[in-house]
A and B are shown apart, each in its own frame.
Chain A
Amino acid sequence: MKKLFNISNTLITLLIKLCGLISGISVLLIIIFLFSEASGLFNKPSIDQETVIAISKKNTINDPEAIQIKQIFNREIRNWSALGGKPDSILLFRLDDLILYYPADAVTEVPDTMRARINRLFAQHDNLIGYFPASLMPHEFSGRVLRIPNLNVMDFIRGREWIPDARPVNIYGALPLITGTLWVSLLAILIALPLGLAVAIYMVEIAGRNINRILRPAITLLSGIPSIVYGFFGLVVIVPFIQDQFGLPAGESALAGAILLAIMALPTIISISEQAIRNTPQSMKEASYALGASKWQTIHKVMIPFASRGIIASALLGLARAIGETMAVLMVTGNAAVMPSGFLEPVRTIPAAIAAEMGESTQDGLHVKALFALGCILFVITLLINLSVEYMQPRTKKRMML
């Protein structure tokens, strides 16, 4: 009997330790999976492996940047001289264009004739640039295959354009999404912090017990309402409101996102800063009153400075929540992946980009890896914010809300 008890006691202890370990390593697992998926994007050309880009052998230009290739195929660069070649207009060739050079029925012919035709095209036209599937690569190719430079991490972070579906080269520059995210979230906190602080001060010093007894559970309830519901509210109320107020063609904008995020961050900011202000020692308040200070002077000069760390922590946690918010932002910001130029313009944030684009991209493609890389950036930003909050607050007064 005693032996049985000992065994079960050891087993349960083991189980408890195991669970502790599992919880401890789950973040590590997340980090490993995020970063290993994302690493597939880097130090490789951002072109789908089945595609080849080629120019004529007589063309002497150096291998262009990915962004230049995009500009060539968008007709933004029209002359080879822009790339340091001989002045001659650029002639584009996409595989679909073969119909322009040959009758439609010829295109569907066997690969060998296709190869011969591609070969002839590159031999005939000195100013040609084109892309075609690697499977149609002629055996003795008359053109020169361009080497697309590898994408490195800094290019990804600093790149100013995000065009994942550009052909033939995908353009992955995360800067518009990073700025979009910070832009919306910072504005949201700028709106929410003064309001939240006012409510917190009201709850601590002005409101009676009965009001607080209703207010506090109500704020807990509001912090629990799913973000998708806030997003829906934003879509049916805030977006049309902004559209009417500013006479915009569409109300989906950075401002709509910021207002919605501010509303969503309010419960977090209110409850944490209220806790911080309430923690001011009674003796400090009484010392202030004894010096003849009014209630407001005491709040202003004693309680707020005392609670400043907690207030900053509440703002940072609100910010982290706003940065990571996905569904609500996705529904109201209009989702244009361009560098934000004003608060009434549509923007796209990192989480919204991940949520919106994951569904439309093919599995195992570069696009998915790029979205994981965005996930890494998001993870690092929020982790830094959370760790700084951790560092700022003494362990006894830990976060109450999240």
Chain B
Amino acid sequence: MSKKLMQAVMFTLFRLLSLMVVCILFSIVGFIAYRGLAVLRPQFITGLPENGMTEGGIFPAIVGTLCLMTGSLLIAFPVGLLSGIYVSEFAPDNRLKRFIQIMTNSLAGTPSIIFGLFGMALFVNQLGFGDSILAGSLTLAILVLPVIIRSTEESLNAVNPAIRQASYALGATRWQTVYRALLPLALPDILSGLLVSFSRVSGETAPILFTVAAYYLPRMPSSVYDQVMALPYHLYVLSTSGTDPEATRSMAYGTALLLILIVLFFNVLTVLVRRLLSKYVNIK
């Protein structure tokens, strides 16, 4: 076979395969959007589940997920940010730094169910928080910690070294250099790391199974020691263990679409934030 024909054959094959993959991936989103849009009405968002979760809304689950997102990022963002700063700017290039980097990388690759087990052993049982927003938030915080550490570390490393040196040359301390010179420049990347963490936390199910998620709890949490419902776990309940999986299907489509929309929202927000901030931050 001539090399031209071979190339034409292979390229056509790649085009077709790519088209197929893209179609499959988008049909998933399209399918859920098509079935879910009919359900996504105001009372679905603001109502309580009714009639064995076959009617009504998913408001408690939305509130629960918002609680967990806020709680976990309140813990993970400061710790992750400071850790990232430590690894990138403070740590001498020694074994400790390497150790922390390997540990964060291992943490990033650890299956989410392991975090669930750990959270159950430490926060729920050992520290006695019980199934609570506190235990769930701490568990999710450890899960997203590596995302924040890595985005901070990488964005600080990406700043032009001349700026760092100039700041030191003016007699600034390390912290002053980080705070005044590096962080403003690294801000867009750090913020997108934060937004990715938000969208990740909103959809994780396995870590909250044994630490916070309630099967059915149609009231608002009153303290951090309360259990809550959460969107991803609610979708699991609706689609598998509800009283009648067929009757709850439409509720499930709506919940699934809402989860996709949350991810989409944070993705779009990331792009917007980068665009907006890069107007002000362009000395790289």
Contact = CB atoms under 8 A, between A and B. Distances in A.
Interface of A: 9, 12-13, 15-30, 33-34, 37, 194-196, 198-199, 201-203, 206-207, 215, 217-222, 224-233, 235-237, 263, 266-267, 270, 293-297, 300, 317, 320, 323-327, 331, 351, 354-355, 358-359, 363, 371-372, 375, 378-379, 382-383, 385-387, 389-390, 399, 402
Contact of B11 (A19, A206, A325): A206
A355 B32 contact: no
A220 B196 CA distance: 10
B103 A327 contact: no
A22 B101 CA distance: 12
A318 B110 CA distance: 13
A23 B149 contact: yes
Given A23-B79, A23-B104, 15 more contacts: A23-B146, A24-B103, A27-B107, A37-B117, A217-B271, A224-B263, A225-B260, A228-B236, A233-B256, A266-B21, A326-B112, A331-B239, A354-B117, A355-B209, A386-B109
B220 interface: no
A13 B210 contact: no
Contacts of A326: 111-113, 205-206
Interface of B: 3-4, 6-7, 10-11, 13-15, 17-18, 20-22, 24-26, 28-29, 31-32, 78-80, 82-83, 85-87, 90-91, 96, 99-100, 102-118, 120-122, 125-126, 142, 145-146, 149, 173-176, 196, 199-200, 202-206, 209-210, 232-233, 235-236, 239-240, 249, 252, 256, 259-260, 263-264, 266-267, 271
Given A23-B149, A206-B11, A351 B25 contact: no
Nearest to B200: A224
Nearest to A298: B7
Nearest to B102: A390
A72 to B, nearest CB: 33
B205 A228 contact: yes
A382 B118 contact: no
Contacts of A219: 25
Instruction: Find the residue from A25, A196, A228 having the highest chain B CB count within 10 A.
Output: A228
Contact of A229 (B85, B209, B249, B260): B260
Given A224-B199, A296-B10, A375-B113, A236 B236 contact: no
B23 to A, nearest CB: 12
A390 B138 CA distance: 27
Contact of A195 (B21, B80, B117): B21
Nearest to B257: A229
B105 A386 contact: yes
Contact of A19 (B82, B108, B259, B264): B82
20 contacts: A19-B78, A20-B100, A23-B100, A23-B146, A34-B121, A199-B17, A199-B21, A201-B14, A206-B18, A221-B263, A221-B264, A229-B259, A233-B31, A294-B7, A324-B113, A351-B206, A372-B117, A375-B113, A378-B111, A378-B114
Contacts of A399: 105, 108
Nearest to A389: B109
Instruction: Find the residue from A266, A325, A375 having the highest chain B CB count within 10 A.
Output: A375
A121 B99 CA distance: 63
A228 B235 contact: yes
A24 B100 contact: yes
Nearest to B91: A20
Instruction: Find the residue from A25, A207, A295, A355 having the highest chain B CB count within 10 A.
Output: A355
A237 B31 contact: yes
Contact of B83 (A20, A201, A229): A20
Given A331-B239, A382-B109, A33 B256 contact: no
A225 B264 CA distance: 9
Given A26-B103, A296-B11, A355-B209, A266 B18 contact: no
Contacts of A270: 21
Given A229-B235, A326-B205, A355 B113 contact: yes
Contact of B174 (A13, A220, A237): A13
Contacts of B11: 206, 295-296
